[in-house]
Structure 1
């Protein structure tokens, strides 16, 4: 990692949530945060549920989020490595974000080394081995033919 560069992690922004107030304000806050970190970010880990609901079907993607998608594309174009972990609210992300933005999509937990230390990274949903019902449901939802 370059000197004076940082790695950032964020999760559970839930952009577009009908249950939360001030969606536009939250989107602007997140866009401002992406602008703020752009000065010193080397890697960005989006740890799931960035969108409250994302359903991608063939060539159709959800409406909105242009401020966020544009900023993520700008970061990627500048060489920032972006990792997107699907959560239980945005697990129907398929090819659009990796192809259009250039991010790396993670559907499962991921182990990586940062500054010589091992990190186990995951959104967290489905990690409970006893929750067989959710694990089955997640397998069905992650099936491309569903």
Structure 2
């Protein structure tokens, strides 16, 4: 049996369970390879915008069960809400066992303060033109299907895979300006509020970079996504690093044996009757 990596804090975001672009198997492999003390789910974990009863495969249920099992085994789970799972915002500050739902989080690690949030509140396209953003999500689904078919052909021709969505995003007019503005607004606010680092997601662009202005500096951290980049943030030995699934020499880890053999109905039942450590539900003031 492989030894799991012990990590103090892990941050993942933009998983989009329940959507076609989600890569649940890779995420499950990663979760099975680590043993964190604290797991921060930084928004858009479940894609409620695109949720359909017709599509929620077994691998997606396995991820949910894995997270619940981690909670039951003592891992602190903090679920920070995003725009695709915004329905959970009405449950903000609710705690069930080791799972807490919040809209934002301030965390002190080794004498340094960090500000955690998903980041959609800094995206002007979300509050005012949500219907455009949702339409874009469905268009992205179509793009993913085309991309998978294209890569299926390329693989059989012995050619390198490509990412159509990334190509389009990289060639979109003003996309670089949008990303830079997003990063700078967040970093400036973190500096203004004296945070040593700021952790977000939302734009599917993993990054770790010091940002500076005339008032000071902060460490900008973006956990990326599990749609294209397959990245996470890890905190251990008093430092942050970006985990990249494709560069993990310890892979593959496989799903837990008990989960691997479970039928769909058994997975649903296990999630439905979940009772973490038999603790009562509490609501934080």
TM-score range, shorter chain: 0.5 to 0.7
1:12-39 deviation per Cα after TM superposition (whole angstroms, max 9, x unaligned): 1112224x2xx4xx1111111111113x
Give the counterpart of 2:72 among 45, 70, 77.
77
Contact 1:73–1:102 at 8 Å: present in 2 too? no
Superposition RMSD in Å: 3.2
Partners of 1:16 and 1:111 in 2: CA distance = 29
State the distance in 1 between where 2:81 and 2:10 align.
Answer: 17
Residue of structure 1 equivalent to 2:102: 106
Shift of the alpha carbon at 1:44? Answer: 0.5
Q: Which residue of 2 aligns with 1:59?
A: none
Higher relative helix content: 2
The alpha-carbon deviation at position 68 of structure 1 amounts to 1.2
Partner of 2:113: 118
TM-aligned CA distance change 1:119 to 1:125, over 3 Å: same
Partner of 1:34: 31
Kindly report structure 1 stretches of 4+ aligned residues shifted beyond 6 Å: none
Write the mapping of 1:42-53 to structure 2, written as runs, cut at 5 A: 42-53=37-48
Q: Which has the higher strand share?
A: 2
- SS at the partner of 2:32? helix
Structure showing greater Rg: 2
Give the C-alpha shift of residue 110 in structure 1: 1.6
Q: How far, CA to CA, are the matches of 1:73 and 1:133 in structure 2?
A: 30
Q: Does 1:92 align with 2:87?
A: yes
Deviation at 1:77, TM superposition (A): 1.2
> Would the aligned equivalents of 1:88 and 1:125 in 2 still touch at CA under 8 Å?
yes
Number of equivalenced pairs: 117
User: Which of residues 1, 14, 17 in structure 2 aligns to 1:15?
Assistant: 17
Counterpart-to-counterpart distance in 1, 2:77 and 2:118: 15
Task: Extract unaligned runs of 5+ from structure 1.
Answer: 56-61, 138-146
- Contact kept, 8 Å, 2:42 with 2:117, in 1: the verdict is yes
Q: With structure 2 as the length reference, what TM-score do the two structures score?
A: 0.36
Change (3 A) 1:27 1:98: farther
Gaps of 5+ in 2: 1-5, 131-285
- Paired position in structure 2 for 1:66: 61
In structure 2, relative to structure 1, the CA distance for the partners of 1:9 and 1:121 (3 Å cut) is same
Contact 1:110 1:120 in 2 (8 A): yes
